[in-house]
Structure formats: C-alpha cells, structure tokens
Amino acid sequence: MATFTVKEEAYVRYQMTTWQGEIEMDGETIAYRYSEDDNGSELYVYTEGDGYNQVNWTGEGNEKYQTLMAAIGEWGSPEDFGSVGEEVEIDDTVVEDYI
C-alpha cells in the first residue's frame, strides 16, 4: 500500500477544448479540428495521407476556412452548428469582420 499527503488541493490549471467535425462547402468536404484555450484558437484541416495540419485561415486563398472560423466565432463553437444535414448560413459582411 502507498500513502501520500495532499500539500495543495488540485485545480484546473490549464484547459484546451478541441472540436472535430466535417462540413461541406462549395461541393468540397472539409474535415476539421478547432482547438481553443486561454491563449487563442487554432484550426486544423485533414488532408489524405498527411493527417490533420494547422492552417493559416487568414491567408489569401483560404476563404473557405475564413468562413468556417467566422461561423465558429458567431455561433460560439462548432457544436452549435446543429445536427447532421443542417445548413449554416453566414453573411459575407460577418466573414469580413473576422478577417
């Protein structure tokens, strides 16, 4: 039998939340992971043969990722997008505000 003495009560020191989902935008399926913590957020996209890699969603040519990140910002989390088959609409002006 092992014994120890608690010197400080345990508490949450650091916590990161990661959501994983899949959407279809403009005929393209995007599998993603969105992680957030007190230091910010990160977007990862799945690529066949390469796995999940972080993407610079603000870069030119990444408009589909900008739309996804704007929707996450507006809804609060990807979990709030709804169930399978639901369509999520977001105004272009809202997307521009997040860029």
pLDDT confidence of residue 48: 94
Give the single-character DSSP code of 34: E
Query: What's the token pair of residue 13?
Result: 């020191």
Indicate if the pLDDT at residue 2 is higher than 90: no
Question: What is the rounded distance in angstroms from the CA atom of residue 71 to the CA atom of residue 63?
Answer: 12
Place 62 in a pLDDT band, splitting at 50, 70 and 90.
Answer: confident
Average pLDDT over residues 85-97: 88
Average pLDDT over residues 48-70: 89
CA dihedral 90, 23, 17, 83 (to 10 degrees): 80
| pLDDT, averaged across the chain | 90
